[in-house]
Structure formats: C-alpha cells, structure tokens
Structure 1
Amino acid sequence: MPVRAHKDRIDKTMLRWFETRLDPYPAAPATQPPRSLYAFCRHYTRGTEPWLALMALLTTAIAVTEVSLYAFTGSIVDRLSSHTPATFLQAEGWNFVLMALVVLVVMPALNLLSALVIHQTLLGNFPMRIRWQVHRYLLRQSMGYFQDEFAGRISTKLMQTSLAVRETVIKLLDVGNYVVVYFGGALIVAAAADWRLMLPFAVWLVGYAALLRYAIPRLNKVAQQQADARSMMTGRIVDSYTNIATVKLFSHSRREEAYAHESMDEFLGTVHRQMRLATIVNVSNDTLNMLLLFAVAATGIGLWMQDAVSVGAIAVAIAFVLRLMGMSQWIMWEMSALFENIGTVQDGINSIALPATVDDAPGAQALDAHGPVRGDIRFEHVTFHYGKQGGVIEGLDLHIRPGEKVGLVGRSGAGKSTLVNLLLRFYDREAGAIRIDGTDIATVTQDSLRASIGVVTQDTSLLHRSVRDNILYGRPDATEAELVEAARQANADGFIQELVDAKDRRGYDAQVGERGVKLSGGQRQRIAIARVLLKNAPILVLDEATSALDSEVEAVIQENLYRLMEGKTVIAIAHRLSTIAAMDRLVVMDQGRIAEQGTHEQLLARGGLYAQLWQRQSGGFLELEAEAEAEGEAEPSSTR
C-alpha cells in the first residue's frame, strides 16, 4: 500500500473514531422539554456532558499554555540582555528545549485534540441529537398544534433552535472559558512584574464590561425579534409554495408577493436595528483598545524609567495588548452571537416546549392488549366544544355494535366529523367517555387506538414519496403481492402502471409530489383507499371517501369497499345520501346531538330531518343552505 494512501486511511480512521463517540439518534423517549432557558439547554445536553467537559478542559489548557508562552517570551527578552551570544545557549539551552517542546509538541497536540472533539464529535452530532429529539416530540404533538402554526414555521424553529442550543452551550464552555482563563492569566503576568502595570488592563476591563452590559441586552432583544421574524417570513413563503395551485387558480401572485413582502420588511427592520448596534459597538470597542494600548505603553515606559520593571515585562504587556485588541473584537461578536443564539433558543422554547393537549395516560396499554379488537363502540354522554362556549357535541350517547355499519348524516356543522375526531383522539372529549370493547380510549396508547381504525377522508393528503411508500404506509410489512392486490381492489393498479415522474421512475416507484400534487383528486383518493385496504383495521371510518371520484370509478370502488366492510365496524359520513342509504343504521345529527336514527326506509317513513335532507338532494348532493352556515359549529378548518 502506498505511504500516502496508508496515511489517509489512518487519518480517516482517527476522524471516524471521534465522529462515532456521540450517538446522534438517542433512543430515550422524547419528553416535553422545560420552558426555562437553562433547563431547556440542559435537557438537550444530556448524554453530551463528558465531551463538553473534555472540550472545556482542553480550552483551559490551551489558554494557560498560551499565556505561559507570552510570559516565557518576556523572560527571554530579559535574559538576552544579561548574556553574551557566546554564553546564552550554554546558560539557557534547556529553557529553549522546553519552549520548543511546548511550541512544537504540546500546543499542536492540544489544538488537534480540541479540534477533533469540537469538529468531529460535537458540531455535527450535538445539533442532530437535538433535532432528533425535538422532531420525535413534535410528531406526537396534538392535531390542534399543527392547525395553529405554519408547517414551514415549525420546521424552521426546529432547525434554528437545534443549532442555537449547540452554539449557546459550546460558546459558553469554549469561548467563555478561554476568555476568562486567558484574561485572568494576562492580569497575573502583568501584576507579577508590577501591580501598576496591571491597572490599565483593569480599567479597560471595566470599560469593556460596561460596553457589553449596554450592548448585549439590546442585541439579545433584537435577536429574539429577528428569530421570530425570520421564522414568520419562512412560514409565509412556504405557505405560498405549498398552496401554489390555489395561488395560480385565483391569479394572486401579486397578493402573495405583498404577503411575503410584509414579513420580509419586518425581518429587514430587525437586521437594520442589529447593524446600528453593531456600528456603536465596533466604534466603542476600537476606542477602548486604542486607550489601552496608549495607557500600557505609557505606564510601562514610565515604570522602566523608574527602574521598576524590565524591558521584557513591557514587551509582554504590549504583546498582551495587541493580542487583546484582536480578541476584543472577536469576543464582542462571539458574545453577540451567543446572545443572538440565546434569543433564538428562547423563541424556539415558545414553540417547542408546549405540552401536548392530547397525551397518553401514565401506564397506558395497547387497545388490543387483552385480545383482538372487536369494534364495539360506545359514546357515553360525550360533550366537546373545541374550547368554546356552546355547540358542537352536547351530551351525546351512541352505541355501535361490533360489525355494524353506521352512516352519519346531517347538515354541515352538525358535528359528524367532530365525532370521528374524538373517536380518533385527535381531541379529548371534555365530558363523558368513549369506549371500544368496554375500554375507555383515554386509557390506551394513541398509536394502538389509531392502528385499529382505518380512515379514508375527502381531503386526501399523500406523502411526497413513491406510490409504493404511500400505499405501504397502511402496513409497512406487507408483501409486494399484497400491495398490488390492494391497489387492484382500489381500482388504482391501472393508472399506477402508467405513472412516470421527472426522474424517469415508473409505476409504483414514481414520486407523487408534495401532498400528491402530481396526481388527480380521484387518483389520490384511490391510493388512499388502497392504503386503508392494506391496513385492514377492525374499525373503518369513511369520511366522504368517494366524493372525489367520478360515477364510473365510484361504482367499481364501492363494490370493493363493501367487501372491505365485511366483518368490520363501519362509520361512514357522506353528503351523497345514496352512498350510505344501504347502511345497517343511519344516525342523523343536528347541532351536536342525535336527532333521529334508523334504517333508510324507517327514517323516510318518519318524515323528519332525514326525509327533508333526502328530498332536497339534487343530482345526489345536498344543497348548501344559508341557514346551515349560520348555525355552523365553528370547527377548525380540518373538520366539518
């Protein structure tokens, strides 16, 4: 093996060893983070402490060694004046050997180890740990959380906050530690020569601290405003891209420009405020540095003239000043960056460290822990208002027997979809209980509850992945044959075979685009139906499941849906009453209560609300009535 190749292999092995010291994907359960700044950062540094401590220790060693080298250089200047060239090496040779070891061996080794710990172990893995834990926690957030926020804004907060926590912790332990040790060492070295030589440094420190005290709170405040404005700007832009079809259909490009312009202008305002502060800080810092240089030089020369300090002490003091002049600007911007990151973390806390409004009860078990789910569903005196006064669901009682097919009927706003959302625990009922096979769903895990319920909705959203991935979402361990059979039963196999995406991926490997935008509404619906067919859950919810299909395709799929319904408990919602008229029982809802129930024939004979709705159908659809809008239940946009 060539020498160079062997060296590269050793280098990569060493780098790889440090890169694998910190697990970027911790397996510990994702829990709600605390809301205070220190506790939030502490929460996300668990597991990284040994490497952060090693980084701080190495930083201290580097600072101490560097200060020692400055002191040694000053002593060398003095010793040069007390020896001739002929006697200098004989008298100071071993000191030079020691200095050479420090400069050529110790300092490079410390810097190398510090770089490996920071760059290989921490900078990449540390924020990824935070992203992983925050993402896992947010995935388990309640539906209401995502309905109240832009998706782009949430993802931006996740990315910004993870980096900001890393920078906050590392800057405090690395930069802060280095500055304290280095400056403390400089004061000690200056005072060792003469306490008066230390005075200009002490005065400079007071002035510098005053400048930091003035600038940092203001930079912190504007950083928080900037972080929030940045995430809002990103959220608005992503919202426009996500809904680009609507933007183009209504020819609202200029409106979207104005919508984004407003948030960009707000963000730019925070940048301008930040840059004004930067100018003040820069000018003030430069002034302090020039005064320090003059004061140290004048004091040093004055003390030398009094024979109080040596030439070497003056050389060391001025070297420290020159070093501090460069460092002070760096420190100022590091401190500004630190508090900008603190502002970003505090802004992220407001979005991330929120409790889930729907959470698993302590010790919650799986719904099927005591046997297969039969699908016996009971709503017992259930009340729910979406946190508002009146309306929606009021003291509702409903029993759906195992294997029974029930259709929910009612005007828009009657509470049909709300009832389904409560069954799925997207929201928790405010009073009463919902039981499946006698078990209160509030006492079981949400994952096991939803695993037992297959849902097809009107507003079908597909993942921006392949057709295969979308269908297998129903049951990831399904075989290829089961996948294709589900697509065939959903009458989707034909058009899937003809799909080709921009990268020439075909059939089941073709990508469907964000939210399935590359497919027609009917195609998306058929893939969604195939997904639920593959899931084969004991409880089936159909919420306008075939509304996006034309009559011919709907007729084919209805036959397959009827086969899918066999042996399952079914809850079907439809405005097209003809699609659910053959259900075992129809439950008519009005203003959050059950108005009447029975078979199609029984309800028509009764001549009540259902009979009125049936008579008002035109072409299979309910007419939209102005009164229905007036008495709407004020549900979120995702419900009906």
Structure 2
Amino acid sequence: MTRIEDLIDAFRPAEGPPPQTLGPFFRWVLKGAMPVLAVAAVLSAATGTLEVLSAILLGMVIDSALNSTPEVYFSTNTTTLLLLLGFFLVLRPILFGANSLTNAVVVMPNINPLVLTRLHRWTLGQAVTFFDDDFAGRIAQKQLQTSRAVTDIVSEIINVGFFALASLVGSALLLTTINGWMAVGLGLWLVIYLLMIRWFMPRIRVRSQARAGARAMVTGQIVDTVTNIKTVKLFAHADYEEGAALGAVKSFREKTLAYGYISGMFRFCLMSLAGVLPVFLIGATLYLWSLGAATPGDIAAAGAIAIRIAQMTGWVSHTLMAIYAAIGEVEDGMRTLTPPHALTDRPGATALPADASRIAFEDVSFSYGRRTGGVEAISLVIEPGEKIGIVGASGAGKSTLVALLLRLYDTEGGRVTIGGQDIRDVTQESLRQQIGMVTQETAMFNRSASENILYGRPDATEDEMIAAAKRAEAHGFILGLKDHKGRTGYDAHLGERGVKLSGGQRQRIALARAILKDAPILVLDEATSALDSEVEASIQEALERVMDGKTVMAIAHRLSTIARMDRIVVLDDGHIVEQGTHAELLEQGGVYARFWQRQSGGFIGVQEAAE
C-alpha cells in the first residue's frame, strides 16, 4: 500500500528536454504529479465552500431564533442545532485538516525535489561551455530559485486559488437566493477586481523577474569571490571584491524597490475596491429587508459573506502577487536552465566496447569557434598499449586534443575514433568510462578522502580503494588528515575543491582515483606538475605500473616525465611538427631538442619555446 507521502514520486525523471515557454515548462516539471494535484485542488475547493455554508447556517440560526421564543427554541430547532454542531465540530475540522495534511505532506515535500532533480539532471547534461560561460553560484541559485518558485505557485494556486474560487461561486449562488440583482452586483465587482489584477500582474511579473535576475547575480558574485578567497587575499583585493559585491547588491536593491512600488500601489487599489463590497452587499440586503424582501438572517448571511470576501480579497491579492512574482522567477530561471544541450548522443548511439583502445585523430581541426587557436589538420594514431607524450609551448593545442578525445567538444573538421568507432557514434557516458584522467587542475569534492578516491569506481571495496591510494603514494598523508569536525584519515573531508590539501596531495588523490578506475585509456595532463622531485621519483615506478598495458596520452612541460614514452609528439601552433622517441628527437636537433636544452629545472621555458 502506497503511503500518503509517496503518492507523488518525488524523483521520477522527466521525459525529453524542458520546453522554453511557460505553460509547457510547467507541464514538463510537474508531469506525473498532476492527478494528485487535481485531487488536492478539489479538496481545497470543497474546503472553500465551507465559508458559504458557515454563512448559510448563521442565517438559519438567526431566522429560527427570531421566529421562536426562548422557552421553546431548543426543543423546536433540534435539527438546525445538530447541523450547526456537526458542521463546526466534525465536517469543518475534517476538511480543513485533510486539506492542510495534503499540502504539508503530499504536495510541498514532493514538488520541490521533483522540480529540482529534473532541472539538476538536465543541467548536468550541458556541455562544459555552458558552465564556463556562467557563475557556478548563479547556476545553483537558478535551480533552487526555480524549484522553490514552482512549488510556491502550485501550493498557492491549490490552497488559495481553488479555495477562493469555490467561495466566490458559492457566494454568488447564495446571493441569488436572496436577490438576483445582488449576485449581478457581486459579478460586476468581480469584473472590476479581475481587470485591476490584469493591469497590475504583468507589471509585477516583469519586475519580479528583474529582481530574481539581480538576486542571482549577487549570489554569483559572492560565491565567485568566496571560491577564490585565497587569490583575493594574496593580491590584497578585498576592497575591490567588496566594490564588485556592492555594485551587484545596489542593482538588486534598485530592482527590489521597483517591485516594492508597484506591489504597494496594487495593494492600495485592491483594498480600496475591497471596501466597496461590504457596503454594497449589506446596504442592498438592508434595503431589501426594509421592503420585506429579505429576512434578518439574509442580512447576517450577506454581511458574513461580504466581510469574508473583503478579507479574502486582501489574502488573494497578496497570494496573486506572490504567484506572479514566482512566475517571474520561473521565467528568469528558464532562460538560464533550459537551453538545449550543445553536445548530445546521436540517435541510436551505442556503448563503446570495453576493450576499445586504439585512438585515431583523423585530419582533426578545432578552434573553439574562432579563427585562430586550437588544432588544425591533426592526424595521429595511437596503437593499443602505446604510450605517447605530447609536448608543446602553452597554446600549442595539447589540452585541446585531450578535450576532443573526451568529447567535451565536437571537432569542427575531421573525426576522432576509438577502436575504429567515431566517438560521436557512441554514448558520452561509455566513452568517458573508458578513459582515466589525471589533470593539473585537480578537482576535489568537499567530501571524505575515501569518497573522492571511490569516485573512480564507486563499487570498489575498501581494500581496493586503500590499495589504489598506496600505489599513488597517498596512503601515508591520508592517515594523518583531520578535518574541523574531528573526522580523521579516509573519513576526513577535504574542503571545497580540496583546499585543505597541498597541490601534490590533491594530485596523488586524483592519481589514486584514476588507478582505481583502471580504464584502458589513461590521460595524464601535467599529472605530476604539483609534485616535488622526491615525491615524483617515488611514484614514477607506480605510474609506470599503472600505465602497463594501457593506451596512454601524457602531456607535460617537465620533459623528464615523458622521456621514456614509446613516442613523443611535438605540437606547435596547433600542428604536429615532430614525432619520435626521445633519442630520435634529440638527434634531429629540432624543436624538442631546443626544449630539452633550454628547460630550467625540467620545465619548458614558454617564451623560449615559442622562439
């Protein structure tokens, strides 16, 4: 039996890409939850009719009291009194309680994670350029903002929209039983009310959208500063960063003030209109009573309805403002989060075979959409089990080759194949599962050391994980770790982006991760650049064991790390200018030989290399 809190599957994946227009977008994020939301709406509408029933019962009690005497009132009006007791002590609490439970247990706790996980899943599928072009904090803010706004809209429409609509319809029907013209008057008032909403709400929506965008920029600016706090302090730029933050906050304040002015004007106009309704309904009922066309109970019922609707007007107007403000935030989030994926799997893409390891760059060109930079007409074959080093000055195209191999970008000309298959014809997931990588800019999660290593193969055993750490010369320093919460060793958290570790420690954990992954293709992008000579020497033998039997691409400025490779490829300005063994290239006396002669401390002098 499904529990009430599980009536909506909060983690059900979405179908297809998110639409970029409002209505279809709501259907996309809420698909699967609509039947339950419909039941919640009906329950809310039923609760709204209780307001009208309250007024009817009040009128019945007053009329029965006026038509009776105190001595016999209770004995002659038992049915009316029992209805009153049953309504207020049984029906009303049950319906209100069920409505509240539905909102608090079924709707709110499930809609937010449903929307958030769908947006997050879509965002994770974006190409790296999507993240390169934006603030990390801003993207996260947009996901949280949009999921919260959608949840607020759904909750308010159900709990206020359907409740108020049922109350208004019931009120109109009740007034019709007193006098048809009073119902017409209520209808006319409602038309004016809706026209006022129609004028104000689009303006509120636009200003809310601008406010949401400004708020996200504040978040992005602050997160960007905090993420790079060491750089800020090293360059003594606290004042500069404060100025940048103040600029974003000032813009947010201006957008908030603009929203405040329009919302304040709306509330004033709406409350003025709300004051007209009790005057009209009570006055009209008194007039009809004076003509003998209404009873005192009718006056009481009309008065109760008028006052309740007037009160509800303020409540509904506040809710409508919140809904339209939330719609503005949803639209703002949609602009950031719903662009189509720039890199997608082709229809019918298959998994890359697990033993595929022959790499071929076939007349490959890529320049990041610019006229210069990247690589041009590169043809290079790396046989299974072959280990090649890639050398070149900064900007020569080394990292571009790696990015194309991983299909972080699609080639602009030519193709990349693994095992004879164009990598565009296989799934991105299977492609990257076949490649282990250690980079110069080592990425660490603010999680435990063990979790960071297990990222290479989450199903590995603890013994396998520790063995990988030992092979990467990381086991010793990991045992000495301790974080601010007292967690030690492999359980210690590493801080955001691994800030609690030295560069060499981060690279050794990244190396352990790649060792644990044990992929047939291994890419080393300056994998030992942060290690001192002693540590590098201690893990060089381990690295060679890890490379055994694998197809290896190793990028390095420190030429000593690649001198023993099977082949060295020299890039210059996006072209292959030399290739051969270390000895062969030295004998040629070309670009590589100059790199070897002019390097200082084992590194290529970038300016000299460019000569």
TM tier, smaller: over 0.9
**3-state SS of 2:484 partner:** coil
**Matched residue, 1:172:** 157
**Matched residue, 1:125:** 110
Residue 382 of structure 1 pairs with residue 367 of structure 2 = no
* 1:535/1:331 CA distance change after superposition, 3 Å: same
Q: Which moved more, 1:613-622 or 1:353-362?
A: 613-622
* Cα RMSD after superposing both structures: 2.0
Residue 466 of structure 1 pairs with residue 452 of structure 2 = no
**Matched residue, 1:279:** 264
**Matched residue, 2:325:** 340
Paired AA for residue 239 in structure 1: D
Identity of aligned residues (%): 45
Deviation at 1:627, TM superposition (A): 9.6
Give the distance between the partners of 2:162 and 2:370, measured in 1 at CA.
Answer: 52
Paired AA for residue 343 in structure 1: G
Give the distance between the partners of 1:482 and 1:627, measured in 2 at CA.
Answer: 42
Give the distance between the partners of 1:219 and 1:627, measured in 2 at CA.
Answer: 59
For residues 103-133 of structure 1, give each alpha carbon's deviation from its aligned partner in whole angstroms, at most 9, with x where no partner exists.
2222211112212211111111111112122
For residues 30-58 of structure 1, give each alpha carbon's deviation from its aligned partner in whole angstroms, at most 9, with x where no partner exists.
64211111111111112212221111111
**Matched residue, 2:204:** 219
Do 1:30 and 1:136's aligned partners in 2 also have CA atoms closer than 8 Å?
no
For residues 175-219 of structure 1, give each alpha carbon's deviation from its aligned partner in whole angstroms, at most 9, with x where no partner exists.
222222211221221222112333542343233223212221111
Give the distance between the partners of 1:255 and 1:553, measured in 2 at CA.
Answer: 39
Residue 593 of structure 1 pairs with residue 609 of structure 2 = no
**Matched residue, 1:50:** 35
Paired AA for residue 546 in structure 1: T
Residue 25 of structure 1 pairs with residue 34 of structure 2 = no
**Matched residue, 1:638:** none
Give the distance between the partners of 1:469 and 1:484, measured in 2 at CA.
Answer: 12
**Matched residue, 1:561:** 543
**Matched residue, 1:147:** 132
Give the distance between the partners of 2:114 and 2:40, measured in 1 at CA.
Answer: 18
Give the distance between the partners of 1:30 and 1:520, measured in 2 at CA.
Answer: 43
* Match runs of 1:498-517 below 5 Å: 498-517=480-499
Q: Which moved more, 1:72-81 or 1:443-452?
A: 72-81
**Matched residue, 2:598:** 616
Do 1:152 and 1:239's aligned partners in 2 also have CA atoms closer than 8 Å?
yes
Give the distance between the partners of 2:348 and 2:104, measured in 1 at CA.
Answer: 41
Residue 229 of structure 1 pairs with residue 214 of structure 2 = yes
Give the distance between the partners of 1:208 and 1:627, measured in 2 at CA.
Answer: 75
Do 1:240 and 1:247's aligned partners in 2 also have CA atoms closer than 8 Å?
yes
Please identify runs of 4+ aligned residues in structure 1 that moved more than 4 A. Answer: 626-629
**3-state SS of 2:30 partner:** coil
Do 1:378 and 1:436's aligned partners in 2 also have CA atoms closer than 8 Å?
yes
For residues 584-625 of structure 1, give each alpha carbon's deviation from its aligned partner in whole angstroms, at most 9, with x where no partner exists.
111111222212211222223333332333333222222232
* Match runs of 1:201-600 below 5 Å: 201-368=186-353, 372-600=354-582
Paired AA for residue 107 in structure 2: L
**Matched residue, 1:113:** 98
Give the distance between the partners of 1:500 and 1:460, measured in 2 at CA.
Answer: 20
Paired AA for residue 130 in structure 1: V
Give the distance between the partners of 2:461 and 2:86, measured in 1 at CA.
Answer: 66
For residues 132-186 of structure 1, give each alpha carbon's deviation from its aligned partner in whole angstroms, at most 9, with x where no partner exists.
2222222222111111121111111111111111222232333222222211221
The two structures have a TM-score, normalised by structure 1, of 0.91
Do 2:523 and 2:552's aligned partners in 1 also have CA atoms closer than 8 Å?
yes
Give the distance between the partners of 2:484 and 2:279, measured in 1 at CA.
Answer: 67
Do 1:41 and 1:169's aligned partners in 2 also have CA atoms closer than 8 Å?
no
Give the distance between the partners of 2:556 and 2:246, measured in 1 at CA.
Answer: 41
Paired AA for residue 465 in structure 1: R
Give the distance between the partners of 1:392 and 1:605, measured in 2 at CA.
Answer: 29
**3-state SS of 1:85 partner:** coil
The two structures have a TM-score, normalised by structure 2, of 0.96
Deviation at 1:89, TM superposition (A): 3.8
Deviation at 1:394, TM superposition (A): 2.0
**Matched residue, 1:633:** none
**3-state SS of 2:3 partner:** helix
Give the distance between the partners of 2:14 and 2:79, measured in 1 at CA.
Answer: 58
Give the distance between the partners of 1:267 and 1:626, measured in 2 at CA.
Answer: 48
* Match runs of 1:194-205 below 5 Å: 194-205=179-190
Give the distance between the partners of 2:455 and 2:177, measured in 1 at CA.
Answer: 72
Give the distance between the partners of 1:438 and 1:408, measured in 2 at CA.
Answer: 22
* 1:374/1:168 CA distance change after superposition, 3 Å: same
**3-state SS of 1:74 partner:** helix
**Matched residue, 1:98:** 83
Do 1:30 and 1:133's aligned partners in 2 also have CA atoms closer than 8 Å?
no
Give the distance between the partners of 1:22 and 1:188, measured in 2 at CA.
Answer: 35
Deviation at 1:342, TM superposition (A): 0.6
* 1:626/1:227 CA distance change after superposition, 3 Å: farther
For residues 66-89 of structure 1, give each alpha carbon's deviation from its aligned partner in whole angstroms, at most 9, with x where no partner exists.
212312322332333223334444
Q: Which moved more, 1:540-549 or 1:602-611?
A: 602-611
**3-state SS of 1:44 partner:** helix
**3-state SS of 1:52 partner:** helix
Give the distance between the partners of 1:220 and 1:334, measured in 2 at CA.
Answer: 13
Residue 158 of structure 1 pairs with residue 143 of structure 2 = yes
Do 1:486 and 1:534's aligned partners in 2 also have CA atoms closer than 8 Å?
yes
| Residue in structure 1 matching 2:70, options 66, 80, 85 | 85
Give the distance between the partners of 1:204 and 1:177, measured in 2 at CA.
Answer: 19
Deviation at 1:522, TM superposition (A): 0.8
**3-state SS of 1:394 partner:** strand
Give the distance between the partners of 1:367 and 1:243, measured in 2 at CA.
Answer: 38
Paired AA for residue 599 in structure 1: T
* Match runs of 1:173-188 below 5 Å: 173-188=158-173
Give the distance between the partners of 1:61 and 1:506, measured in 2 at CA.
Answer: 57
For residues 498-524 of structure 1, give each alpha carbon's deviation from its aligned partner in whole angstroms, at most 9, with x where no partner exists.
112222221111111111100111111
**3-state SS of 2:416 partner:** strand
Q: Which moved more, 1:611-620 or 1:460-469?
A: 611-620
For residues 433-479 of structure 1, give each alpha carbon's deviation from its aligned partner in whole angstroms, at most 9, with x where no partner exists.
21111111111121211111111111112111111111111122223
Do 1:409 and 1:587's aligned partners in 2 also have CA atoms closer than 8 Å?
yes
Do 1:200 and 1:292's aligned partners in 2 also have CA atoms closer than 8 Å?
no
Paired AA for residue 161 in structure 2: G
Give the distance between the partners of 2:148 and 2:132, measured in 1 at CA.
Answer: 26
Deviation at 1:387, TM superposition (A): 2.2
Residue 602 of structure 1 pairs with residue 587 of structure 2 = no
| Residue in structure 1 matching 2:120, options 123, 135, 140 | 135
Give the distance between the partners of 2:61 and 2:282, measured in 1 at CA.
Answer: 20
**Matched residue, 1:634:** none
